[in-house]
Amino acid sequence: MLQTLSARRLITATETIERPTVTIHRDGTIAAIEPDSAPQAADTTLTTTFLDIHTHGGAGHDVMEGTPEALCNVSRFMASHGVGHFLPTTVTAAIDKTLASLEGIAQAIDRASTSAWDPDLARPIGIHLEGPFISHAKRGVHPPAHILPPDIGLFDRFQQAAAGHIRLITIAPEIPGAIDLIRHCAEQGVRVSIGHTNATSAEARAGIHAGARSATHTYNAMRALDHREPGVLGVVLDDDNLYAELICDGIHVAPELVRLWLKAKGPDRAILVTDSMAAAGMPEGEYMLGTFAVTVANGRALSAEDLAQGKHTLAGSVLTLDRAVSNLQQFTGATLQVASCLASHNPARLLGLDDSLGLIQPGQPANFNVFNSSGARERTVIYGRTLE
């Protein structure tokens, strides 16, 4: 007997279907979507599951551990917060450590593409390489000893270790050699995001001209906006073709500037990310981000080393993507349709996966988030299975 899923409405990338009934095959794919004239018992809304393209971990694990246990735990945690797919994101570390982590993550990505993957887990579908080709001036908590000048040969070593799974890379465009590396990555189909950068507006535009397609955690780890030298931030907000991530936790970016970002980028180029680290979903305390210590207190993840010196340097977040979707609605008045699109369809478009990932149509995986009448996520369905 085929399974069915009904709701008051279904939001897709292009339309809203009223009173849908979704029929699901035994293999977890969608058999049919048909409107139902009968009134629904509950005022619920279905959307596709989320895609987080910038996450370092959660549930006490960092993706750079690279072990099956760590990556399965992170994947389970992602799914529990409405994420169906994600890009495990590295952080600057020693070359050997980065290579080993990339190999482990790549193996998880390969497993996730087979029927052996647990359907209750979110699926890693590629890697976001954040560092080491970033600016010392805007490094955030990335260890300065391991930040390196852009190097095509080294990137190729990373990509070989990753079995070709690097889909997104953050690069500071102003560093000597960056333009050549941006062009090289773009030619290989790897999306380039400008971030951890002190670039002027001219340097940012040069990076975009070379092939950069997005910006990493807008506002954070970027040259500040100036009315005479707009810098990289001015270009990010002004360029209608550039995608732009944002960490919508109310800590990394003030609500006023969340609103400015959404007005500037619009519903087609804005992307919600978490930049979450191992402490996401865990009690406050001491955790690791890559190879360095992080202290989590009062909802903030801070560099333990800087904290000991009286500085409060943010080290990722403890945000979840369902909370980011909720926060965006609260901060900006955006509809659930817009907010969910920023966490699903837009990142898929950036990666060139919008023709497959997150589509809600027959033959595609039955991956849904179920929201109540207040706009809060109630549960998640992955491959037709409701997660506990």
Per-residue model confidence (pLDDT) at position 73: 97
Q: Grade residue 21 by pLDDT with cuts at 50, 70 and 90.
A: very high
Quick one: average pLDDT of 94-119? 95
Q: Which residue would you say has higher pLDDT here, 208 or 312?
A: 208
Structure token digits, residue 92:
């600057």
For 1-49+358-388, CATH gives: 2.30.40.10
Number of other residues whose CB lies within 10 A of the CB of residue 172: 29
Distance CA(369)–CA(352), nearest Å, equals 22
Say if 1-49+358-388 and 50-356 have the same CATH topology: no
What is the chain's mean pLDDT, rounded?
94
53-105: pLDDT as tens digits: 999 999 999 999 999 999 999 999 999 999 999 999 999 999 999 999 999 99
Q: Grade residue 39 by pLDDT with cuts at 50, 70 and 90.
A: low
Residue 1 has pLDDT above 60, yes or no: no
Which residues, 6+ apart, have CB-to-CB distance to 275 below 8 Å?
A: 54, 55, 56, 89, 217, 247, 252, 316, 317, 319
Q: Is 196 annotated as a binding residue?
A: yes
Q: Is 228 annotated as a binding residue?
A: yes
Active site amino acids: 275
Per-residue model confidence (pLDDT) at position 358: 76
285-321: pLDDT as tens digits: 999 898 888 899 989 998 888 888 888 889 899 999 9
The CATH number of 50-356, from 3.30.450.40, 2.102.10.10, 3.20.20.140, 3.40.50.150, is 3.20.20.140
Q: Is 167 annotated as a binding residue?
A: no
Q: Is 32 annotated as a binding residue?
A: no
Q: Grade residue 388 by pLDDT with cuts at 50, 70 and 90.
A: low
Domain boundaries, the chain: 1-49+358-388, 50-356
